[in-house]
Amino acid sequence: MTLLDFAKGPALWAAISVFIIGVLWRLVGIALLHYHTDLSAPRHRLYLTGLRLPLTRSWPRKEFVGATGVFEAIGYTFHICWFVPLFFFLPHLLFFDDIVKGLIGFDLTDLTGFGWPFLSAALIGLFSAISIGCLLLVLAHRLINPVKRRLSNFDDFFSWFITIAPLLTGVAATAHVGARYETLLAVHVLSIDLLLLWFPFGKLIHAITLMGIRGITGALLERKGATL
């Protein structure tokens, strides 16, 4: 078995299994905690309108935008530019096709009659470069900014590392830089395996919980008529 076979085979399936079981374990473990019923009379009957918070909290209020707007923008840029190569790079789509075919036994494109659009390698490279640049800025800010430095722990740095690793290894594999293509590709897939393995245990879980948390907080605050 080559390194690439290992990365795409047993390592990937083990990582996917840990990812799914770990995320479920963490979320179900939280959901099973004892919930206290709030017996106070709500100010608004329609307090579920607080569910608008996922949208409104997506950009800072005018009072805060001067202090946090730039880094929120950098955060959005890095996330968007990270996901574009993942979902719009042809080799990735073929790879996902293989996985789906392996799971359900047929090609989804045959069923739906349309394929997933993809971008040129040059554009994918541009998005990757922007994402890498933003991640480097994020790291620099974490190291320089006294507040972030004070808050930072192993999870912050390791999560940063496994987020940038697939980008760096992906760019290297596409550009055929530093080693044989198969080796570069194997390292790239292994970096994804590592990301999936760590995801359930660290701060990356926010990718799943963020919108839910905003919605819950919005509903709880709106119940009181409090400021969202």
Q: Let me know: does 183 contact 154? Beta carbons within 8 Å.
A: no
Of 18 and 189, which has the nearer Cβ to other proteins?
18
**CA distances, 1 to each of 7, 9, 175 (Å):** 10, 10, 25
Name residues whose C-beta falls within 8 Å of residue 72's C-beta, 6 or more positions apart in sequence: 59, 60
CB of 91 to other proteins, least distance (A): 30
**49 sits near other proteins (criterion: CB under 8 A):** no
**77 sits near other proteins (criterion: CB under 8 A):** no
- What is the C-alpha separation between 18 and 196, in angstroms, rounded? 7
Binding mask 183-212 for other proteins (x = CB under 8 A): ------------------x-x-xx--xx-x
Of 99 and 226, which has the nearer Cβ to other proteins?
226
Q: Let me know: does 158 contact 198? Beta carbons within 8 Å.
A: yes
Of 16 and 228, which has the nearer Cβ to other proteins?
228
- What is the C-alpha separation between 184 and 170, in angstroms, rounded? 8
Residue 116 phi, psi (nearest 5)? -80, 130
Q: Which residues bind to other proteins, rule: CB under 8 A?
A: 25-26, 28-41, 43, 53-54, 57, 60-61, 63-64, 67-68, 71-72, 75, 145-153, 156, 201, 203, 205-206, 209-210, 212-218, 220-221, 224-228
